[in-house]
């Protein structure tokens, strides 16, 4: 199995980095978001995660950038209806939590539903 690398740094190096050093490895939009700092809700979530890393934490903070301190933790990210369970893996570093909790389902077309017209309910026999 290939070991994880991000911009020439392996996982152990990334885990040892400060947030400022990690910012240099990610894309500019996410770097800018980290430079502005975390919101109050994001700070609370990080504090809870540091205190109890084994516990499942729920959040509505979809715009939070995933940082190395969060690796291996389990988070429930709200998608507008429910909390989607996510385990944070190294490949997710630098992305946002909301990217892994999709807000829309795929459409599944099947037989006509309740309230359909009489003509659309017709299914020819084979």
Q: What is the mean pLDDT of the chain?
A: 88
Whichever domain contains 66, its CATH number is 3.30.860.10
Tell the residue number behind the tokens 């309740």, with chain if given: 114
Average pLDDT over residues 67-74: 91
Q: Is residue 80 part of a domain?
A: yes
Q: Is residue 17 part of a domain?
A: yes
CA angle 67, 69, 75 (to 5 degrees): 80
Q: Is residue 122 part of a domain?
A: no
Q: Is residue 125 part of a domain?
A: no
Q: Which helix (H) or strand (E) holds 85?
A: strand 83-87
Average pLDDT over residues 49-75: 92
C-alpha 73/C-alpha 54 separation (Å) is 7
Q: Which ranges of the chain would DSSP assign to H, the alpha helix?
A: 11-16, 19-23, 28-36, 40-51
Can you read off the two tokens belonging to residue 117?
């017209």
Do you know the residue count of the chain? Answer: 126
Q: Is the pLDDT of residue 122 over 70?
A: no
pLDDT at site 75: 95
Q: Is residue 82 part of a domain?
A: yes
Can you read off the two tokens belonging to residue 28?
């500019």
Total domain count, the chain: 1
The partner residues of 57 in beta bridges, in order of sequence, read 75
Q: Is residue 54 part of a domain?
A: yes
Structural domain of 78: 5-100
Q: Is residue 107 part of a domain?
A: no
pLDDT digits (tens, 9 = 90+) for 12-34: 888 888 888 989 999 999 999 99
pLDDT at site 38: 92
The partner residues of 5 in beta bridges, in order of sequence, read 10
Q: Is the pLDDT of residue 58 over 90?
A: yes
pLDDT digits (tens, 9 = 90+) for 82-116: 999 999 999 999 999 999 999 998 888 777 667 67
């Amino acid at each position: 199995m290939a070991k994880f690398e991000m911009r020439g740094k392996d996982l152990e190096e990334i885990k040892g980095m400060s947030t400022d050093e990690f910012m240099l490895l990610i894309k500019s939009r996410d770097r800018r978001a980290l430079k502005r700092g975390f919101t109050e809700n994001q700070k609370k979530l990080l504090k809870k995660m540091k205190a109890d890393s084994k516990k499942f934490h729920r959040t509505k903070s979809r715009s939070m950038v995933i940082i190395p301190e969060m690796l291996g933790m389990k988070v429930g990210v709200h998608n507008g209806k429910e909390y989607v369970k996510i385990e944070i893996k190294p490949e997710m570093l630098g992305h946002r939590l909301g990217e892994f909790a999709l807000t829309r389902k795929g459409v599944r077309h099947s037989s006509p539903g309740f309230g359909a017209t009489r003509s659309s309910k017709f299914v020819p026999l084979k």
